[in-house]
Amino acid sequence: MKHSHRALRAAGSAAVVIGTVVVAATPAYASTSTQVPVASTGFFGGFSDVTVVTPTDGWAVGGNGNGVIQRFNGTSWNVAASPDLLDGGANTWAVLSGVDSVSASSAFAVGRATGAGNTGQSAVAVRWNGSAWSRVAVPRPAGANTSLASVKQFSPSNVWAVGDTSSSIAFRGTLAMHYNGSTWTTASTPSPGTKNNTLTSIDGTAADNIWAVGYSLNLPYGNRVRQSVILHYDGTAWTQVASPNNGSTYLYDVAAVSPSDAWAVGSGSTGGAFVLRWNGTAWNSVAAPPLASLSSVTARSSNDVWVAGADANSAPALAHWTGAGWSVTPVAVTGGVGLPLLYQVTVVDANTEWAVGSQWEGTTGQSSSIAFRIVG
């Protein structure tokens, strides 16, 4: 099962923002990571998200121009048959950004497709029924661009996905959509920014306790200061909840532990890695690990939280919160020539985690998927 998500991590999207690092002490190294073989998919084939079914079965998604789905068989990741998101040439580009599962017979993945002839972007969704992946129609308002970045499945008939939507270059708003087992519908969501708003991740503990995070941008047009955005769904409506900032702030992921405990991570221009924690009443900034940026968070409990990101040298790294402090696990990548990126981390069992991302090949102009099993 998936515990958290991250957006803007599909191949071809912007790299994670790297901020200033403030290191209070030398980090302890407490875990080990092992790179696991991944099937090559060629053009822009990096992983953007991962979900766990069992320790020997899971799904990862990403982009290769038509979206890609791979399945873990206990030893390696292999390409799975998936629907054509290019619609026979009607679209020129497609990517899957989020995936989640509740069992071996039910999973969802979401993303976006870019239409041919400058016809804009449309959100896409696919569903696993235990035997095959199939396309699920996602409504697109006339004249609007829509994109889904992250998905949370509570059951086959209760699925939420978030992203953004726009009808002009002047304004982009938050987007939340719900699947009831047969159709996707759009829910009303706050969009606090006067220029751009985007939701990057969704997670929840129950149908009436769901969090979505992202960031917003205000006018004037030249403004580049992002503000953190956190929305909550109580089973009836989405509302904005006040959230701290760290200079120009991006929130990339959220993990819900209980109604009184949740974590959100990202990056800020004045302090690098940024961690927020919900205490049942308010979101507060808490001590971050000594990394430059954070892209993902997952949690087993309040004292067992993992984050993925990059260190001061832009090398991939993970950190583990035990309740007493953070320990850091470097991630060594083989192959490729450019800096690898970790986009997602999720727990597998009581002692194991998956981390996935992409590695730029450089010499071929392509990126490949990377996956790591972390023990400790």
Q: Is the confidence at residue 46, as pLDDT, over 50?
A: yes
Report the DSSP beta bridge partners of residue 61: 49, 69
> d(Cα 268, Cα 292) in Å, to the nearest integer?
9
For residue 45, the model assigns a pLDDT of 73
Q: Is the confidence at residue 26, as pLDDT, over 50?
A: no
Contact 16, 252 (CB under 8 A): yes
pLDDT in tens, 161-216: 999 999 888 899 999 999 999 999 999 999 999 999 999 999 999 999 999 999 99
> d(Cα 68, Cα 96) in Å, to the nearest integer?
7
Q: Is the confidence at residue 93, as pLDDT, over 70?
A: yes
pLDDT in tens, 248-284: 999 999 999 999 999 999 999 998 999 999 999 999 9
Average pLDDT, the chain: 90
Q: Is the confidence at residue 21, as pLDDT, over 60?
A: no
pTM (2 d.p.): 0.92
Encoded tokens for 61: 């998604």
CA 31 to chain centre: 23
Q: Is the confidence at residue 224, as pLDDT, over 60?
A: yes
Say which CATH topology domain 5-375 has. Answer: Methylamine Dehydrogenase; Chain H (2.130.10)
For residue 336, the model assigns a pLDDT of 63
Phi, psi of 88 (to 5 degrees): 65, 25
